Each structure stands twice: as structure tokens, then as C-alpha cells.
């Protein structure tokens, strides 16, 4: 009896400490209450039992009251604190309490490929009446640990994400659903092989067409790290969880423009509010599907009721995803809505047939395609939308006919003809050879050119002059100390030399118009979807003005240009991320434009080119609406590549974060111009996260090539030629019209 009471008081003490950590020392005298409880707890055996019981009852009442008050006044930043608290439940607690049995894969504890990522094969039981059924599932998620340093707070390394991918593939082979648990402040931003950005892109690319039901549960969703295992059919979120594009501290540091020092506390709290990172906000924004309620001030390790609820919701969510692929779903859907937490009324087999897998993929694509579309600002008129839609339908029919019916027939016929001709040439050779040699002897051998040029491309004689070239002065190459480059006269540099140092090949940055005018055939660039524009969906303070200013300065509506163009007569669809507009960051409008462009390329069977002038990542002012552009665009890329398209990415200047970790990084062919800097996080973020400074050439294109991020380094002076030959040789008729 005494021991139990001792334990109960200990728990009260923990709760008091928890409230103190979240709400601060002064919240309704919690600091004082903690001291009083500690006094009793420390001198427990000095008091008689009856007195202790009385104390316990009073303390319990007081704590419950304070908990209620704390719950009512909870701010977004306090939610962030709850999520990071060592007393909060972690994935291992879920594995213990929600699943019936589990086997950890890829290591346990410190002996692990990556202790921040846990993969486990688990059994999940479902009670139907008196019967108990077991489901096999793959559980993959981040493990924050209760204060263990080696878990790095759930930051997955690149090889940790690779481990996750490996077990996803295994689950797909076995045909069992995957439950993802997201408890990460963000990916560990190091570039060691396989590379932070690259691996996230690979995971997204694979997840977009994985043929098993996938469910994710978000407690701490930190941007790219969360997305690496977050592209799923159903997204659950804990009531006291957060899902955000950047940590409030990071956002405050950017907003206050103090890259080094710590931003003030008030600004961090303001950012937490402005980023709209709570579960409720995310449900409103449509980035998650359902909220799982938690006890006041969040569930902790021993909230068994919460785990029970979580188990029920996980089974229900998986059922829902599976049933959506089945034909007889109405009745069971009705039954599903009437389900109670105690027991289920029926059993659903989670294995999918081939047809159902197709429906699953279609459902997933539709889900992400329609996500965040409401936030795009698009001037609409009824007539225009009708004409556009009808044009799209006729276009689609025409292209289907052209490529599916005509081209296929033509291809088969050509193949047959080729076969026939080569057969007959073998057959005729013994007969024709002697005749030929006699003929040659008499007439003299006709010399035929043996090698024929594949194609030729003219270098556009420059008609476009960069405004940078108008200054009459010289500049010093930044690598002059190393290579002894002489000074370069500016009109030469930005004119004839294409912004490249003729001595060492250093690439000076150029404005985006240069590419539009010098890479593509003259007057072939035709923009579309230009009216699509970034809006301010979160009502982020000051963002509307910033957008307005960017629009005024550049004359653009978003940071992404989408256009049709030609290179040496080869028609293609291209996008370009432009540095001038908010540092080429990606928001809702940019994502939507990208998807529409790549859909057009797919429809018209043309190659697709992403030219990256500069990208600074996902725009923080659009919160999670920006983050979900990563899975959305990657799905579109996967769809396009699977249908036989050729997708090429060319990087220039600086490319970092979200876009590189999704729709750019998932491209099969990526090239970079010399002097490009390429990576996941900048040097400052790496230093802050890992505590280790990185060498100055850490993000250089040479190192990116060594890590296998890109396929080659190109020179800007021959970019047009390189692209032309890439399109010709890597694409060719076989690829686009497969």
C-alpha cells in the first residue's frame, strides 16, 4: 500500500514537472506546487499513511485543475515544446503498447544502421466478436528516444532513410501494409552517401507508386525529414503534434535576419503561430486527413487509453484505404463509420489483388493531385475555363490517337520490315558478293562516307545581350589566386564568354533571361499558365507585401516559369526556377505549375526539362501547403517517367533543400553547370545541427558528382549543344513514344 502510494506521488511529481516545463514556472503556482509535492516525496517515510493519503488527494485535485487550465491556454509554441518533451510517447512505446508483437529490423538500440529510424515487422490484432485476427504490418518510423543522445532526436541520416526504403520494398514484396510514424525535427543534413536530399527524393519517388496501403501518423513533422516517409494514402496526426515546413526557431532566425545569434523568444512564439503548424490548422489546410485526440497537455509514455485509441484508428484507417479499392464498399463503409473502439464488426483482408492495386495508386494520385489546389490564385472566367477544358479533351483524344493507334501500328510494321530486310541481305550475300566485286573491279569502287553525323546544331549567334554586359569595366575571377586568371573585361565576360572565366572555367551568375534567349531556338519559347500566382493562404504577416514587391520587381507571378520551347528543332516542355522571385522558393503556385507542365509533357509525348536558375527550398510563408508540394510534384514526375518520358534536370548557381529533395532530385538524369552549389542544407544549418563545420567545397558540383548526385558537369558555353545531344541520344524516338 505504502509502495503504491509512493509510486503514485512520484507520478504526480512527474506530471507537475511536465506542466512546469511546458507552461513555465509561474503558471498558476505550478512551481510552488512542485516544491510542495517534492517535499512530501523526499521525506515520504516521515509521515503517517493517513496524512500521506490526504496530501495525495489534494495534490491530485490541484494538478487536475491546473492541467485543465493549461489545456485551455495552450499556444502553438507550447505544442512544439510538448512534442519535444522527453516524457512524450515515442515509437518504441507505440510498438510495445499498440502492436501485439514485433521484431526490429536493421538493428536495435545503439547497434543500428541508424538509431533514429526504427523498422519493425509487427502483428496487429483485431477483435471481431470473440474471434481475434492478426494482421501483419511493416512499421517504419523515427525514434526520438527518452533523452538518449545517440538517437539524435529522431533526425534520420541519409542511410537511415535508405534503410527505411529497403524495408518498404520488402513490405511491398510481401504485400503487407506499412504504418509510418513521423517523429522527426528534420532530416540530418549531411551529404555523405547516399546524400540527404537524394535519399529523400528516392523515398518519395518509390512511395508514390508503392503497391501496398500506407498509413502515416505525425507527431513531429519536420519538413523534408517527415516527407521522406510521409507520402501515404492516409495521414493521421496527433492532436498535440506539429507538422511544419521549418522549426519556429529556424523561421524566426530567417525572419529576423540574424543568421548567427539566437532570435528573441517573442518572435519564435509569433512564428509558431504564423506557420499554422498545429493539427487543427493542418486539417483545415487539407494536408492531413484525421486528428487523433490526446489527453490534456498531450499523451505521455503511460497514457494507455491513448494507445488503445491509436490502435483503433490505425486499423480503421487501413480498412478505409483498403475498402476504397474494393467494389463492395458501401455497406462496409457504413459499418466502418459505426465502429466503436471496443471491437470490430467484421474483418477486412488487407491484401490487394492486381486490380485493386491499380485503384489504390489512382486514389493516391487523385488525393495528392487535388491537395492544396484551393490555395492557388487563378483568375477564372467561365468561357475561358470551358474552352480550356474542351481544348484539353480534344488534345488528349488527338494525342492518344496519334501515339497509341497510329504510332503503334507504324512501329510494328517498321520492325517487321527491318527484320525482313536484314534477313534477305544475309540470304542474298553469297549471290551478290562475287557480282559486286567484279563490278567494283570494272567501274572502280565508290567511296561512301562511313560515319554520318547524327545531327548538327547551330550555335545561336547572339542576339540577346545581357544587361550585365553594359558596364565598361573589368572584374577579377574569384579563383584568380589559385589559377592566376587575368582580369576579364565585363562586356566580353557576359557576352562572348557566357559568364564563364576563360582561364579557369569559373561560372559567374547570369540572369534568367539569358537562358531563355540563348539555350532555346529563337522565338520558340511560349509561356503558359503565367497567370497562376502565389497567394497568401496562411495570412502570414508581411508575406503579401513581399509577394507584391517581388511581382513588381520581376513582372512575374511566381518563381516558376513553365513554357514550351525548341532546341535545335526538338520540341520540349520546360520549367525554370528563377532566383529573382523570392530566391526561387517553391510554394503552392509553383507546385501546381510544375504539375501542369509535366502533365502537358506527358499528354503531348514530349521531353521535359527542369532548368534550375536557383532554388532556396520550400517557401516558409506557405507552411505545410508548401511542404506537400514535395510529394505532389514527385508523384507527377513518377507518373511521367513511368509513361516513358525523358526528364532532364540542369542545375545552376545554388540549389538547396525541398525541391532538390523531391521533384528535382528524383529525376533520372541530372546535370549541373560548373561552379554550382548543390545540397540539402546550407553550411550554417549543418554547423548548427551537427556541431561540425563543413569544408568550403562541401556543396561543390565536383563533390555532388562524387556522391552520385548528378550524372555530369557541363559548361555553360556549350549548354545548348549538350542539351541538344542529350535529347537526341538519351531520348530519341524510342523513349518518348514508348
Binding interface with other proteins (CB under 8 A):
471-476, 487, 489, 693, 695-696
| Shortest Cβ 189–other proteins spacing (Å) | 19
| Shortest Cβ 190–other proteins spacing (Å) | 17
Long-range Cβ pairs for the range 424-431 (8 Å, 24+): none
Using the minimum distance from each CB to other proteins, give the nearer residue, 402 or 482.
482
| Shortest Cβ 477–other proteins spacing (Å) | 11
Using the minimum distance from each CB to other proteins, give the nearer residue, 30 or 190.
190
141-179: b (≥16 Cβ within 10 Å) or e: bbbbbeeeeebbbbbbbbbbbbbbbebbeebbeeebbbb
The DSSP letter of residue 533 is: B
| Shortest Cβ 538–other proteins spacing (Å) | 38
Using the minimum distance from each CB to other proteins, give the nearer residue, 359 or 687.
687
Cell 512564439 identifies what position? 269
- Using N-to-C axis directions, what is the helix angle for 49-72 and 30-42, rounded to 10°? 160
Using the minimum distance from each CB to other proteins, give the nearer residue, 264 or 478.
478
Using the minimum distance from each CB to other proteins, give the nearer residue, 444 or 695.
695
For the record, the C-alpha cell of 690 comes out as 551537427
| Shortest Cβ 703–other proteins spacing (Å) | 13
Cis peptide before 146 (omega within 30 of 0): no
For the record, the C-alpha cell of 698 comes out as 562541401
Count Cβ atoms within 10 A of the Cβ of residue 61 and give its class: 0-12 exposed, 13-18 middle, 19 or more buried.
Answer: exposed
* Contact yes or no for 90/291 (Cβ under 8 A): no
| Shortest Cβ 478–other proteins spacing (Å) | 11
| Shortest Cβ 484–other proteins spacing (Å) | 9
Chain centre to alpha carbon of residue 547? 24
Using the minimum distance from each CB to other proteins, give the nearer residue, 305 or 496.
496
Spatial CB neighbours of 694, under 8 Å, sequence gap ≥ 6: 683, 686, 687
For the record, the C-alpha cell of 713 comes out as 558537369
| Shortest Cβ 283–other proteins spacing (Å) | 47
Cα–Cα dist 228/203, whole Å: 6
Cα angle, residue 190 at apex, residues 185 and 195 outer, rounded to 5°: 105
DSSP labels, 536-601: -TT--TTHHHHHHHHHHHH--SSSEEEEEEEETTEEEEEEEE-TTTGGG-B-HHHHHHHHHHHHHH
| Shortest Cβ 533–other proteins spacing (Å) | 40
| Shortest Cβ 505–other proteins spacing (Å) | 20
Using the minimum distance from each CB to other proteins, give the nearer residue, 471 or 729.
471
Spatial CB neighbours of 380, under 8 Å, sequence gap ≥ 6: none
| Shortest Cβ 683–other proteins spacing (Å) | 10
| Shortest Cβ 436–other proteins spacing (Å) | 50
Using the minimum distance from each CB to other proteins, give the nearer residue, 4 or 481.
481
Chain centre to alpha carbon of residue 512? 25
Using the minimum distance from each CB to other proteins, give the nearer residue, 693 or 708.
693
Using the minimum distance from each CB to other proteins, give the nearer residue, 107 or 683.
683
Sign of the torsion angle spanned by Cα atoms 260, 265, 267, 272 = positive
Cα–Cα dist 729/738, whole Å: 15
| Shortest Cβ 487–other proteins spacing (Å) | 6
* Contact yes or no for 701/440 (Cβ under 8 A): no
Cα–Cα dist 167/250, whole Å: 32
Q: What is the CB neighbour count within 10 angstroms for residue 62?
A: 18
Using the minimum distance from each CB to other proteins, give the nearer residue, 399 or 489.
489
Number of H helices, E strands in the chain: 28, 20
Using the minimum distance from each CB to other proteins, give the nearer residue, 191 or 233.
191
| Shortest Cβ 680–other proteins spacing (Å) | 20
Sign of the torsion angle spanned by Cα atoms 691, 695, 696, 700 = negative
**In sequence order, which ranges of 401-522 are alpha helices (DSSP H)?**
407-443, 480-483, 490-494, 512-518
Using the minimum distance from each CB to other proteins, give the nearer residue, 446 or 473.
473
Using the minimum distance from each CB to other proteins, give the nearer residue, 109 or 693.
693
Q: For residue 500, what are the β-bridge partners?
A: 507
Closest CA to 496 of 472, 518, 525: 518
Cα–Cα dist 168/161, whole Å: 10
Q: For residue 126, what are the β-bridge partners?
A: 133
Using the minimum distance from each CB to other proteins, give the nearer residue, 474 or 513.
474
The CA–CA distances, whole Å, from 548 to 317, 377, 529, 556, 613 equal 42, 14, 19, 10, 21
Based on C-alpha coordinates, what's the Rg of the chain? Answer: 30
| Shortest Cβ 194–other proteins spacing (Å) | 25
Cα–Cα dist 527/483, whole Å: 41
Using the minimum distance from each CB to other proteins, give the nearer residue, 344 or 494.
494
| Shortest Cβ 695–other proteins spacing (Å) | 5
Amino acid at each position: 500500500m505504502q509502495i503504491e502510494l509512493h509510486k503514485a506521488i512520484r507520478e504526480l511529481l512527474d506530471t507537475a514537472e511536465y506542466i512546469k516545463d511546458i507552461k513555465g514556472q509561474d503558471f498558476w503556482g505550478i512551481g510552488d506546487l512542485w516544491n510542495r509535492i517534492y517535499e512530501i516525496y523526499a521525506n515520504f517515510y516521515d509521515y503517517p499513511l493517513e496524512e500521506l493519503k490526504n496530501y495525495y488527494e489534494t495534490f491530485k485535485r490541484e494538478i487536475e485543475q491546473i492541467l485543465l487550465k493549461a489545456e485551455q491556454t495552450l499556444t502553438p509554441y507550447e505544442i512544439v515544446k510538448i512534442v519535444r518533451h522527453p516524457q512524450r510517447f515515442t515509437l518504441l512505446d507505440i510498438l510495445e503498447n499498440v502492436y501485439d508483437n514485433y521484431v526490429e529490423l536493421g538493428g536495435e538500440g545503439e547497434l543500428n544502421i541508424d538509431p533514429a529510424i526504427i523498422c519493425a515487422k509487427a502483428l496487429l490484432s483485431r477483435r471481431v466478436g470473440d474471434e481475434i485476427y492478426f494482421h501483419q504490418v511493416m512499421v517504419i518510423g523515427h525514434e526520438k528516444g527518452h533523452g538518449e543522445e545517440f538517437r539524435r532526436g529522431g533526425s534520420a541520416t541519409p542511410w537511415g532513410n535508405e534503410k527505411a526504403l529497403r524495408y518498404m520494398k520488402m513490405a511491398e514484396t510481401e504485400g503487407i501494409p506499412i504504418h509510418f510514424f513521423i517523429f522527426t525535427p528534420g532530416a540530418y543534413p549531411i551529404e555523405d552517401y547516399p546524400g540527404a536530399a537524394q535519399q529523400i527524393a528516392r523515398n518519395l519517388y518509390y512511395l508514390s507508386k508503392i503497391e501496398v496501403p500506407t498509413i502515416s501518423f505525425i507527431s513531429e513533422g519536420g519538413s523534408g525529414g517527415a516527407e521522406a516517409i510521409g507520402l501515404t494514402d492516409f495521414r493521421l496526426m496527433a492532436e498535440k503534434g506539429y507538422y511544419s515546413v521549418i522549426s519556429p526557431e529556424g523561421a524566426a532566425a530567417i525572419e529576423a535576419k540574424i543568421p548567427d545569434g539566437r532570435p528573441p523568444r517573442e518572435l519564435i512564439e509569433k512564428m509558431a503561430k504564423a506557420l499554422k503548424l498545429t493539427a487543427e490548422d493542418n486539417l483545415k489546410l487539407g494536408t492531413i486527413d484525421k486528428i487523433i485526440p490526446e489527453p490534456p497537455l498531450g499523451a505521455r509514455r503511460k497514457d494507455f487509453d491513448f494507445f488503445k485509441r491509436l490502435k483503433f484508428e490505425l486499423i480503421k484507417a487501413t480498412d478505409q484505404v483498403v475498402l476504397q479499392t474494393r467494389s463492395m464498399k458501401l455497406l462496409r463503409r457504413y459499418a466502418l463509420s459505426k465502429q466503436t473502439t471496443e471491437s470490430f464488426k467484421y474483418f477486412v483482408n488487407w491484401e490487394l489483388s492486381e486490380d485493386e492495386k491499380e485503384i489504390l495508386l489512382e486514389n493516391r494520385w487523385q488525393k495528392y493531385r487535388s491537395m492544396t489546389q484551393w490555395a492557388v490564385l487563378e483568375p477564372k472566367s467561365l468561357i475561358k475555363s470551358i474552352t480550356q477544358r474542351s481544348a484539353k479533351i480534344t488534345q488528349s483524344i488527338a494525342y492518344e490517337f496519334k501515339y497509341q493507334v497510329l504510332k503503334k501500328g507504324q512501329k510494328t510494321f517498321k520492325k517487321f520490315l527491318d527484320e525482313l530486310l536484314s534477313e534477305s541481305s544475309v540470304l542474298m550475300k553469297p549471290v551478290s558478293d562475287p557480282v559486286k566485286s567484279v563490278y567494283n573491279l570494272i567501274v572502280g569502287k565508290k567511296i561512301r562516307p562511313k560515319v554520318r553525323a547524327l545531327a548538327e546544331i547551330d550555335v545561336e549567334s547572339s542576339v540577346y545581350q545581357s544587361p550585365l554586359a553594359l558596364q565598361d569595366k573589368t572584374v577579377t575571377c574569384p579563383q584568380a589566386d589559385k589559377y592566376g586568371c587575368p582580369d576579364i573585361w565585363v562586356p566580353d565576360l557576359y557576352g562572348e564568354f557566357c559568364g564563364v572565366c576563360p582561364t579557369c572555367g569559373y561560372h559567374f551568375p547570369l540572369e534568367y533571361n539569358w537562358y531563355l534567349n540563348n539555350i532555346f531556338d529563337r522565338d520558340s519559347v511560349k509561356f503558359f499558365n503565367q497567370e497562376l500566382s502565389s497567394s497568401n493562404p496562411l495570412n502570414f504577416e508581411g508575406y503579401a507585401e513581399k509577394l507584391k514587391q517581388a511581382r513588381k520587381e520581376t513582372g512575374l507571378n511566381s518563381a516558376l516559369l513553365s513554357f514550351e520551347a525548341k532546341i535545335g528543332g526538338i520540341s520540349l516542355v520546360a520549367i525554370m526556377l528563377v532566383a529573382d522571385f523570392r530566391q526561387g522558393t517553391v510554394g503552392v503556385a509553383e507546385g501546381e505549375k510544375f504539375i501542369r507542365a509535366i502533365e502537358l509533357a506527358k499528354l503531348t509525348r514530349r521531353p521535359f526539362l527542369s532548368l534550375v536558375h536557383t532554388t532556396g527550398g520550400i517557401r516558409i510563408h506557405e507552411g505545410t501547403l508548401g511542404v506537400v508540394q514535395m510529394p505532389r510534384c514527385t508523384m507527377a514526375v513518377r507518373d511521367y517517367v513511368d509513361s516513358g518520358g525523358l526528364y532532364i534536370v540542369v542545375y545552376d548557381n545554388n540549389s538547396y533543400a525541398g525541391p532538390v529533395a523531391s521533384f528535382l532530385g528524383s529525376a533520372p538524369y541530372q546535370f549541373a553547370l560548373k561552379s554550382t552549389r548543390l545540397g540539402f542544407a546550407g553550411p550554417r544549418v549543418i554547423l548548427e545541427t551537427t556541431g561540425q563545420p563543413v569544408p568550403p567545397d562541401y556543396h561543390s558540383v565536383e563533390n555532388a558528382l562524387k556522391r552520385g548526385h548528378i550524372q555530369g558537369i557541363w559548361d555553360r558555353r556549350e549548354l545548348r549543344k549538350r542539351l541538344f545531344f542529350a535529347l537526341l541520344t538519351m531520348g530519341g524516338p524510342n523513349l518518348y513514344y514508348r
